[in-house]
Structure 1
Amino acid sequence: MQMSRSWIVSVVAAGLLATSGGAATASPDYELAYWNMNEGPGSSVMHDVSGHGFHGRIGREVATGIQSDGRTAYGFERLEPDTPPARPGHLVIVPDDERLNPGSRDYSIEMRLRTRDHFGNIVQKGQATVRGGSFKLQIPNGRVQCWFRGSRTSLLVTAPRPINDGRWHTVRCQRTGDGVSLAVDGDVVAQREGWTGPIANSWPIAIGGKTDCDQVDVGCDYFAGDIDFIAIDVEDPGW
């Protein structure tokens, strides 16, 4: 899988350099965290194979060891939106670590996923109004959105076409000093110029939905589908 991911990153980076028009002039290339999601059925720990120790807790409702097209993935069942109770077992949680915050660095989140649904938060650190800013990838109406909220402003970009066709797609959400961009299957599909300002909060990374929600006043926005890997790259590790 590492060989496959290296090829994907190279293609995406080339696309950013060739077509971004200044919105994202560099591609973060230091692997901060890499969760290959290859754990077998019944696993409770998601291992970070980058060597930095950002291991996660797999919720009891997350299916592990799913085999498809030579890949091993996690599966997240469909849960009805805004229907109590909250289901924290639907999530994978990576505990907060200040090194996982974007700060002022160039920062990207890349993943491979498939879904036939049209809603849900895929991965995030923080929520909409938390102190210190936040970031997330979500998929309303089947179209991936990449959102970074910093001390200066929020920048949101949206894919022009849905990807909820049940096929595997690689998505890369990136924030640099010049703006935010989104690539799908190696092509930059959306970008917005600007500077979000630093982002640093004390929240965990949540995969599959929100951590602070009740499905009444705050929807949990649970993702439905499969995820093959998630990687976080930065320009500079900062240590």
Structure 2
Amino acid sequence: MVASTPGRRVLTVAVTAAVLAGGSATAAGASTGHHPVATWSMNEGAGARTMIDSSGNGLHGSIGGEVVTDVGVRGATGYRFTRLQPDRPPAHPRHLVTVADSSALDPGSRDYAVTLRLRTTYQFGNIIQKGQATASGGNFKLQIPNGIVQCLFRGSNGTIIVQASRRINDGWWHVVRCERTGSGVSLAVDGRTVARRGGWTGPIANGWPLSIGGKTDCDQRDVGCDYYAGDLDWVEIEAR
């Protein structure tokens, strides 16, 4: 995480020019009335195995042994997820950061947003998710196929997916925000809304852990693990 930013990032409506240029700054903004569910600053020291939730809600995570912590790059310190060959067995569960299932992490029927700061030169992988495509109760995820960020929410009424029009796997830091409301799903990159689709997904609530860096239930044979490759500076989840 950027050293000059406090552990709890206050989300504002605009980003600074530094973020738009790929540099360091606070996150793009939350809608009025949103409150933090979890804030993971990802600034633990080298070899850390617990991801601390600084929101005060106690939603700490478990850092897998293949995740490199305390990585400094382009003015920020975060986690690094090394590249793994897609669909090559075996699975690598230690490539993930996981947070135990909690109803607080389920979107339910609430307005719900996931904001994160990433840097990658690769073009594949699931960045963050809770549940998978066949999970009872629905799921959500952010992924980056072909270097283009996509945001998906699947609920009892159906699935809404939105995606950016440009690739962001350029080696610079980018702030990505995915938000689900009662009227649709929107995606913002570096403070600018780049995609929006109307509709209501219905409630989303499952019994799965939240996973950062890929899928938890996969074998790289019948089910690909879709491992993310790149860096993460911080992640924040909010709900109304």
Relative to structure 2, which stretch is displaced further, 63-72 or 188-197?
Answer: 63-72
- 1:11 lines up with 2:6 in the alignment: no
Q: Structure 1 residues 193 and 27 mapped into 2: Cα distance closer, same or farther (>3 Å)?
A: farther
1:29, CA displacement in angstroms?
1.9
Quick check: 2:123–2:169 contact (8 Å CA) kept in 1?
yes
In the other structure, the counterpart of 1:165 is 170
Count residues with an aligned counterpart: 222
For residue 186 of structure 2, the aligned residue among 154, 178, 181 is 181
Cα distance in 1, alignment partners of residues 118 and 60 from structure 2: 20
Query: What does the per-residue CA deviation read over 1:201-237, in whole Å, with 9 as the maximum and x for residues that have no partner?
Result: 00000000000000000000000000000000111xx
- State the one-letter code of the partner of 2:13: S
In the other structure, the counterpart of 1:103 is 108
Please report the RMSD computed on the Cα atoms of aligned residues, expressed in angstroms: 1.6
Structure 1: runs of 5+ lacking an equivalent: 13-25
Cα distance in 1, alignment partners of residues 136 and 8 from structure 2: 37
Cα distance in 1, alignment partners of residues 170 and 32 from structure 2: 28
For residue 133 of structure 1, the aligned residue among 129, 134, 138 is 138
Quick check: 1:28–1:106 contact (8 Å CA) kept in 2?
no
1:193, CA displacement in angstroms?
0.1
Relative to structure 2, which stretch is displaced further, 68-77 or 170-179?
Answer: 68-77
Q: Structure 1 residues 180 and 2 mapped into 2: Cα distance closer, same or farther (>3 Å)?
A: farther
SS at match of 1:227: strand
Cα distance in 2, alignment partners of residues 4 and 129 from structure 1: 34
SS at match of 1:11: coil
1:98, CA displacement in angstroms?
0.9
In the other structure, the counterpart of 2:28 is none
Q: TM-score of the superposition, structure 2-length normalised?
A: 0.89
1:68, CA displacement in angstroms?
2.2
For residue 73 of structure 2, the aligned residue among 50, 68, 75 is 68
- State the one-letter code of the partner of 2:65: R
Cα distance in 1, alignment partners of residues 87 and 217 from structure 2: 13
- State the one-letter code of the partner of 2:14: V
Query: What does the per-residue CA deviation read over 1:165-196, in whole Å, with 9 as the maximum and x for residues that have no partner?
Result: 00000000000000000000000000100000
Query: What does the per-residue CA deviation read over 1:138-189, in whole Å, with 9 as the maximum and x for residues that have no partner?
Result: 0000000000000001000010000000000000000000000000000000
List structure 1 runs of 4+ shifted beyond 4 angstroms. none
Cα distance in 2, alignment partners of residues 4 and 101 from structure 1: 21
- 1:211 lines up with 2:212 in the alignment: no
1:6, CA displacement in angstroms?
2.8
Quick check: 2:8–2:54 contact (8 Å CA) kept in 1?
no
